[in-house]
Amino acid sequence: MGYTITEKILARVSNQEHVKAGDEVMAKPDFVMAYDFPGYTDLYFKQMKEDFGIERVAEPERFAMFIDHMVPAATPKEEELHIGTRKWCAENDVPLFERKGIGHQVASEVGYAVPGAFVVHFDGHISQLGTFGTLAMGIRRNLLEALVNERISIKVPHTVRVNLTGTLGKGVMARDVFHHLVREMGPASCRFQVLEVGGPALSQLSTEGLQTITGLAMFTGAITAVVNPDDARLAYALPRARKQLEPVYSDPDAEYAKVYDIDLSKLEPLIVIPPTPANSRNLTEYLGLELTNGYLGSCASGRIEDLEIAARILQGKQVAPGFQLNVVPTSNEIMVAAGRAGYLATLTEAGAFVSAPSCDYCFGRMGAMSAKQRAVSTGTLNVRGRMGSPDSEIYLCSAATVAASALEGKIADPRKYL
Amino acid sequence: MALENLRGRVAFIFEEVNFDVDQIVGVKNIKITDIDELADAAMQSYDPDFRTSVRPGDLIIGADNFGYGHPHYPPMRAMRHIGITGVLAESFSPGYWRGEISMGFPQATCPGILGLVERWDEIEVDWTANEVRNLTKGTSLAIEPLSKADRAMLDAGGLIGYLQNQRQSAT
């Protein structure tokens, strides 16, 4: 019986020849990362010093910090948090990435998405590094274990395999694919397991689209998502890689907890209705619902293909009167590329408010909604109060659907504009 | 400190699948840091008398995928303050599970628990026998054994104690 990519990576970092799902191991993450957030990193830094006597981390190159929330700072207190993070990174010689964009995306750009590597973060959306064959897990407060100890305790997870076949239709995006997976498989289908995405259609999906799918994996209950990296993903990741590792792949006879086959040709645009990411619905059931806001951005969606399709839909047109459209490229690298391609100018001319990369629109620190407002959003989540008032509503969908809806001020089908 | 058996009444049963624990205090209260204020807000939309009805040691019950969504820590801080000592659910969402176990809050996965108990039944969770007993009805059901790391985390009262134990045994 063969091994999954997950079992192979966890065997290497646990110094064992083989491990199988269900084994409990002590694993040394190749990289340990976090973003600064009140009550998280500031507390960790304090605990490391006061509870564990750690003045400086060993192997600082294994750690990375990102300042991507509260950017730019709006209060002296927020800036104090960033000052603390800068100081800790400088004292520990730990790389710090600030004002470069949303950390989960920047991590790939600056070489932490090493095929075959094991990465931990407290935030689960780090799973998007799985696009490049990296096993990246959000372990919540247990990140402290990775900060104070060389190794962390982990139970080798089982894997659920999804085989994608067929071709996506016009106006159907990776975002729709993910929400379809939640509907088809269920929001608990991959609980405590790894979502491994593969199949013949994988090579047709853009790297960006795959980042969207892997980045949202937690809403299937998965602890991360991973892909056996093909030439296109390796061509992106290997020249940037901060560590030399041999990429690993699942064996053809690897054991899976369950296997799903998804035909992309049959998919239509979806919309996820509030108040939970479990609520995937056909977009066509909600057409015409009045809207006040739109958000195109986040670590899930806000990459070039998202900005491109939105620009194509909005080209030469205007956002509906009274509708507020916030567009936030996921990283500086993406913002520059979108600027050079003319997408940002097109979106701005159409009436979008284009903002520099930041996490803040996704959780309502910026562009916050008031009671009774309703948004379409490519953010990660639609729980109550995520983007402002608990009495506002968030409908999650693709960038194309956000753009089409911005034109009409109502939930709209992007296919008629493409 | 070793993990003692939990014994108390079923203070509430959340029958909703994929239950978002933030609803326990309500999203508008999630940023309250004063623990008494937070406890006052807890369960108001489910049972306004909850705080005064609970006795220390009581437990709560969840359905499948309890804790799904984007769980925050304040709801269970509030529940602990009121006197709740653990959660039994058909199954848990991983992020929620991991977060609360690291707080040293006992939880057990127990397929079939919704059929085993009614509100205010007296129950006991036996960590050695890996079972939950309904003392009111005289019935019982198996719970899924904790992983070694989760068990050690609960034995140590949470993440800090667990890590201190780990570092002591490494030296």
Collapsing DSSP states into helix, strand and coil, what is residue A296? strand
Tokens of B5: 């058996």
Measured between CB atoms, does B102 come within 8 Å of chain A? yes
Mean pLDDT of A20-48: 97
Angle between helices A399-408 and A304-314 (to 10 degrees): 30
Task: Look at residue B15 and tell me if it is in a domain.
Answer: yes
- Average pLDDT across chain A, whole number: 97
Measured between CB atoms, does A47 come within 8 Å of chain B? yes
pLDDT band at A71 (very low <50, low <70, confident <90, very high): very high
Which residues, listed in sequence order, are joined to residue A30 by a DSSP beta bridge?
Answer: none
Q: Is the pLDDT assigned to residue A377 strictly greater than 70?
A: yes
Q: Phi and psi for B123 in degrees, rounded to 5?
A: -130, 160
Domain of B63, CATH number, reads 3.20.19.10
Task: Look at residue B85 and tell me if it is in a domain.
Answer: yes
Q: Do B102 and A390 touch (CB under 8 A)?
A: no
Q: Is B138 left (phi over 0), alpha (psi -120 to 50) or beta?
A: left
pLDDT in tens, A110-135: 999 999 999 999 999 999 999 999 99
Residues 280-319 of A with CB under 8 A from B: none
Q: Do A144 and B93 touch (CB under 8 A)?
A: no
Q: Phi and psi for A294 in degrees, rounded to 5?
A: -145, 140
Q: Do A145 and B18 touch (CB under 8 A)?
A: no
Q: Is the pLDDT assigned to residue B1 strictly greater than 70?
A: no
Instruction: Let me know: does A146 contact A29? Beta carbons within 8 Å.
Output: yes
Q: Do B18 and A381 touch (CB under 8 A)?
A: no
How high is the pLDDT of residue B2?
Answer: 75
Instruction: Let me know: does A165 contact A264? Beta carbons within 8 Å.
Output: yes
Kindly give, in sequence order, each residue whose CB lies less than 8 Å from that of residue B30, ignoring residues fewer than 6 positions away. Answer: A385, B22, B72, B74, B75
Q: Is the pLDDT assigned to residue A38 strictly greater than 70?
A: yes
Query: Which one, of A125, A121, A33, A37, lies nearest residue A73 by Cα?
Result: A37
Q: Is the pLDDT assigned to residue B53 strictly greater than 90?
A: yes
How high is the pLDDT of residue A14?
Answer: 98
Beta strands (DSSP E) in A130-269 are 135-138, 152-155, 159-165, 194-198, 224-227, 258-263
pLDDT in tens, A89-111: 999 999 999 999 999 999 999 99
How high is the pLDDT of residue B31?
Answer: 87
Tokens of B49: 């008398």
Distance separating alpha carbons of residues B114 and B120, to the nearest angstrom: 13
Task: Look at residue B91 and tell me if it is in a domain.
Answer: yes
pLDDT band at B167 (very low <50, low <70, confident <90, very high): confident
Q: Which residues of A touch B94 (CB under 8 A)?
A: 191-192, 218, 221-223
Which residues, listed in sequence order, are joined to residue A135 by a DSSP beta bridge?
Answer: A118
Q: Which residues of B touch A52 (CB under 8 A)?
A: 163-164, 167
How high is the pLDDT of residue B70?
Answer: 85
pLDDT band at B168 (very low <50, low <70, confident <90, very high): confident
- Out of A297-306, A328-337, B62-71, pick the least confident: B62-71
Measured between CB atoms, does A218 come within 8 Å of chain B? yes
The pTM of this model reads 0.96
pLDDT band at A340 (very low <50, low <70, confident <90, very high): very high
Instruction: Let me know: does A334 contact A307? Beta carbons within 8 Å.
Output: yes
Mean pLDDT of A355-364: 97
Interstrand relation of B6-14 and B122-126 (parallel, antiparallel or unpaired):
antiparallel
The helix (H) or strand (E) run that includes residue A280 is strand A280-282
Cα distances from A270 to residues A93, A173, A256, A309, A387, in angstroms, run: 45, 10, 28, 16, 20
Mean pLDDT of B24-29: 91
Measured between CB atoms, does B129 come within 8 Å of chain A? no
How many domains are there within chain B?
1
Considering only the beta carbons, identify the residue of A192, A277, A384 that sits closest to B94.
A192
pLDDT in tens, A383-396: 999 999 999 999 99
Name the residue range of residue B136's domain.
6-170
Measured between CB atoms, does A276 come within 8 Å of chain B? yes
Residue B138's CB is within 10 A of a number of other CB atoms, namely: 7
How high is the pLDDT of residue B124?
Answer: 98
Beta strands (DSSP E) in chain B are 6-14, 59-62, 86-89, 107-109, 122-126, 131-134, 139-142
How high is the pLDDT of residue B130?
Answer: 97
Angle at A92 between CA A88 and CA A95, to 5 degrees: 85
How high is the pLDDT of residue B170?
Answer: 77
Task: Look at residue B1 and tell me if it is in a domain.
Answer: no
Cα distances from A118 to residues A18, A59, A109, A205, in angstroms, run: 16, 16, 17, 24
Q: What percent of chain B has pLDDT over 90?
A: 90
How high is the pLDDT of residue B28?
Answer: 86
Q: Do B164 and A278 touch (CB under 8 A)?
A: no
How high is the pLDDT of residue A309?
Answer: 98
pLDDT band at A365 (very low <50, low <70, confident <90, very high): very high
Distance separating alpha carbons of residues B157 and B161, to the nearest angstrom: 6
Q: Which residues of A touch B160 (CB under 8 A)?
A: 47, 51, 144
Q: What percent of chain A has pLDDT over 90?
A: 100
Considering only the beta carbons, identify the residue of B20, B93, B167 that sits closest to A383.
B20
Return the biggest CA–CA distance within chain A. 62
How high is the pLDDT of residue B27?
Answer: 84
Burial (0-12, 13-18, 19+ Cβ within 10 Å), A147? buried
Chain A interface disruption, residue of B76, B93, B164, most A CBs within 10 A: B93
Mean pLDDT of A45-71: 97
Considering only the beta carbons, identify the residue of B69, B98, B152 that sits closest to A276.
B69
Is the N-terminal amide bond of A76 cis, ω within 30° of 0?
no
Interstrand relation of A135-138 and A393-396 (parallel, antiparallel or unpaired):
unpaired
Distance separating alpha carbons of residues A399 and A298, to the nearest angstrom: 11
Measured between CB atoms, does B27 come within 8 Å of chain A? yes
Distance separating alpha carbons of residues B19 and B22, to the nearest angstrom: 9
How high is the pLDDT of residue A320?
Answer: 98
